[in-house]
Structure 1
Amino acid sequence: MRVRRLAVSVAAILVVIGGTAAYVMSAATDAKQPAGAEAVSQAKTGDLLFVDLAGGQNRVEKLAEGGARTPTDLACQRFYTSAGTSVCLKLSGPGPSYAAEISRDGKPVKTVPLPGIPSRAKVSKSGNIVSWTSFVTGDSYSVPGGFSTRTGFFDIRTGETVESIEHFAATVEGAPLTASDANYWGLTVGENDLTFYATLASGGFTWLVKGDLVSKSVTSLRRDAECPSLSPDGTKVAYKKRIGRLGPWDLAVLDLTTNEEKRLPGTAGIDDQTTWLSDTEVAFAAVPKDARLPAVHIAPADGSKPAEVLIPDATSPSPVT
Structure 2
Amino acid sequence: MTLSRRLLVLAAAVLLLAGLATTLVLRGASRADQPQTGNPAVTAGPVTLTRQDTLAFLNADRGPHRGALVSVPAGTPQAGRTASGLTCQRFHAAASTGVCLRSTPGALAQDNRALIVDAELRTQRSFPLAGTPSRARVSPSGRFAAWTVFVSGESYGSAFFSTRTAIVDTRSGELVPSLEEFAILMDGREYRAADVNFWGVTFSKDDDTFYATLATAGQTHLVKGSLSRRTVTTLAQNVECPSLSPDETRIAYKKRVQRGASLWREHVMDLATLRDHPLTEKRSVDDQAAWLDDRTLAYALPTEGVVDSTDLWTVPADGTGSPRLLTPSAGSPARLG
Q: Which TM-score tier does this pair reach, normalised by the shorter chain?
A: 0.7 to 0.9
1:58 corresponds to: 67
Deviates further, 201-210 or 261-270: 261-270
Q: Note the 1:259-298 alignment, pairs <5 A.
A: 259-287=274-302, 289-292=304-307, 293-298=309-314
Query: Aligned-pair distance for 1:87?
Result: 0.8
CA displacement, residues 33-76 of structure 1 (integer Å, 9 cap, x when unaligned) = xxxxx999xxxx94211111122631111122322321111110
Tell me the SS of whatever aligns to 1:145: coil
**Structure 2 unaligned residues grouped into runs of 5+:** 1-37, 41-51
Distance 2:96 2:39 in 1: 31
Q: Which amino acid aligns with 2:135?
A: R
8 Å Cα contact 2:202/2:242 also seen in 1: yes
2:28 corresponds to: none
CA displacement, residues 132-162 of structure 1 (integer Å, 9 cap, x when unaligned) = 00111499xxx95322111001112332111
**Structure 1 unaligned residues grouped into runs of 5+:** 1-37
TM value normalised by structure 1: 0.81
Structure number with higher relative contact order (C-alpha < 8 Å, ≥ 6 residues apart): 1
Are 1:299 and 2:315 matched, yes or no? yes
Q: Which of 233, 239, 254 is matched with 1:219 structurally?
A: 233
Distance 2:315 2:225 in 1: 27
8 Å Cα contact 1:85/1:123 also seen in 2: yes
Change (3 A) 1:203 1:49: same
1:12 corresponds to: none
8 Å Cα contact 1:144/1:204 also seen in 2: no
Tell me the SS of whatever aligns to 2:179: coil
Are 1:103 and 2:110 matched, yes or no? no
Q: Which of 78, 86, 90 is matched with 1:74 structurally?
A: 86
CA displacement, residues 4-60 of structure 1 (integer Å, 9 cap, x when unaligned) = xxxxxxxxxxxxxxxxxxxxxxxxxxxxxxxxxx999xxxx9421111112263111
Q: Note the 1:138-153 alignment, pairs <5 A.
A: 144-153=158-167
8 Å Cα contact 2:39/2:61 also seen in 1: no
TM value normalised by structure 2: 0.77
Q: What's the C-alpha RMSD, in Å, of the aligned pairs? A: 2.3
Are 1:134 and 2:146 matched, yes or no? no
CA displacement, residues 198-257 of structure 1 (integer Å, 9 cap, x when unaligned) = 000011111000010111101111110001111111111111011122341011111112
Q: Note the 1:73-222 alignment, pairs <5 A.
A: 73-94=85-106, 95-106=109-120, 107-137=122-152, 144-222=158-236
8 Å Cα contact 2:236/2:274 also seen in 1: no
1:316 corresponds to: 332
2:47 corresponds to: none
8 Å Cα contact 1:267/1:306 also seen in 2: no
Distance 2:134 2:62 in 1: 20
Tell me the SS of whatever aligns to 2:82: strand
Q: Which amino acid aligns with 1:252?
A: H
